[in-house]
Copies of this chain bind each other. A is one copy, B any other.
């Protein structure tokens, strides 16, 4: 019989983050993580496919939130309005409660080139999914790519501000400000 204690995944994740920070991502194994919380390597692999998934496991949730946000936009919403709706749907994933985890994660990813490449690939994946969702709403290809990519840019810049040491504003407020700034910068050119 397999024991599935509530909170096991969270304990493994917290231990992994601490080891990635103190010892370095490369020098930490799945066995080290499991051992740190008194579990077996096998238990680790029941919760995570590999040690990278501890950092990137939330990808599907973010993608789902973005696509739900696109779907929630009014049928006659402009491409940028639709993307804004998608970004709004992302915000609950970046609560103040989550900020310490996100901060720690960011420091780990930034320090490791392979993880950084993975992060870029993930962002590119979000842009591709959002482009496809806009296309199904009848938005032309080039417009869809520009709007989706701009959304990912705003999200990325807002995220960078939100995880900075000492930052206390809410993610949704930062993201709204960054969005408004992009719109103002571009409008200034029109």
**Residues in chain A within 8 A of chain B (CB atoms):** 78-81, 84, 116-118, 120-121, 124, 142-143, 145-147, 149-150, 153-154, 156-157, 160-161, 178, 181-190
Q: How many copies does the complex hold?
A: 2
Q: Which of A84, A143, A154, A182 lies at the interface centre, i.e. has the most chain B CB atoms within 10 A of its CB?
A: A182
* Contacts A84-B189, A146-B153, A150-B153 known; 9 new A-B pairs at CB < 8 A: A80-B188, A116-B121, A117-B117, A146-B182, A149-B153, A153-B153, A182-B186, A183-B186, A187-B187
Listed A/B pairs (11) with beta-carbon separation below 8 Å: A78-B188, A117-B118, A120-B124, A142-B161, A149-B153, A150-B185, A150-B186, A183-B187, A183-B189, A186-B190, A187-B187
Chain A interface secondary structure, helix, strand, loop or mixed?
A: helix
Question: From A84, which residue of chain B is reached at the shortest CB distance?
Answer: B189
Closest Cβ of chain B: how far from A99's Cβ, in Å?
18
Query: A189 and B146 in contact (CB under 8 A), knowing A117-B121, A120-B120, A121-B117?
Result: no
Query: A78 and B185 in contact (CB under 8 A), knowing A142-B157, A142-B161, A149-B153?
Result: yes
**When the two chains form their complex, are residues A187 and B185 in contact, meaning their CB atoms are under 8 A apart?**
no
**When the two chains form their complex, are residues A150 and B190 in contact, meaning their CB atoms are under 8 A apart?**
no
**When the two chains form their complex, are residues A157 and B161 in contact, meaning their CB atoms are under 8 A apart?**
no
